[in-house]
Amino acid sequence: MNTEAQIKEWAEAGWTRADVAQALGLTLTKLYYYQKMIGYKWPKGRSIGQRQYQRDRKPRGNPERAAAMQAASVAARPHYTVNGIHGTLHYLATEIGAVAYANVRRRISLGMSVEDALLTPAQPGSKRWGEKR
């Protein structure tokens, strides 16, 4: 059997280009030019090697562990209750919507209470007055 017939047969059987090149003792570049020379187009679709890789590949990480770590992270953050809404500062800032979360954090660091920091609207004349992020 000649090389051209072998390439076509193996490609139709689902071999990857790398497998065909290795079986013929060619580099991928040489196989590419040989393929162009004989006017052969590789069949579309995934080859056997790629399908085998997809089937054998295992998902990374542990989804249950990741979910548990996320829940523990949220539980470790301080929770507050303001106007009957309970949650983290970020949650409260998005739910109440008077000011952005960054402004709430800044206000608390300057000494305001959590409730005042969340409920006091932006002051007129400030750069971001009237803007809601």
Q: Based on the domain organization, do 72 and 52 belong to the same domain?
A: no
Span 59-85, average pLDDT: 87
d(C-alpha 81, C-alpha 2), whole Å: 79
Q: Is residue 21 part of a domain?
A: yes
Per the domain annotation, does 85 fall within a domain? yes
The verdict on pTM exceeding 0.85 is no
Place of tokens 């300057």: 110
Extract the tokens encoding 97: 């919507």
Residues 109 and 72 in one domain: yes
- Please report, rounded to a whole number, the percentage of residues in the chain having pLDDT higher than 90: 24
pLDDT grade for 107, boundaries at 50, 70 and 90: very high
- Tally of CB atoms within 10 A around 106: 13
Q: Is the pLDDT of residue 30 over 60?
A: yes
Indicate if 72 and 115 belong to the same structural domain. yes
Contact present, 51 and 82 (Cβ < 8 Å): no
* Residue 125 within a domain: no
Q: Which is more confidently placed, 38 or 50?
A: 38
List, in order, residues 6 or more apart from 129 with CB less than 8 Å away: 122, 123
Region 103-125 average pLDDT: 89
Go through the chain and tell me how many residues it has: 133
Q: Are residues 8 and 47 in the same domain?
A: yes
Between CA 29 and CA 52 the distance in angstroms is 24
Average pLDDT over residues 30-41: 85
pLDDT beyond 80 at 108:
yes
Based on the domain organization, do 37 and 8 belong to the same domain? yes
Are 52 and 72 contained in the same domain? no
- Domain around 10: 3-56
Whether 5 shows a pLDDT value over 80: the answer reads yes
Count each helix (H run) and each strand (E run) in the chain, helices first. 8, 2
Position 36 in a domain: yes
Residue 34 lies in a domain: yes
Q: Provide the number of structural domains found in the chain.
A: 2
50: pLDDT strictly greater than 80: no
How much is the pLDDT for 113? 93
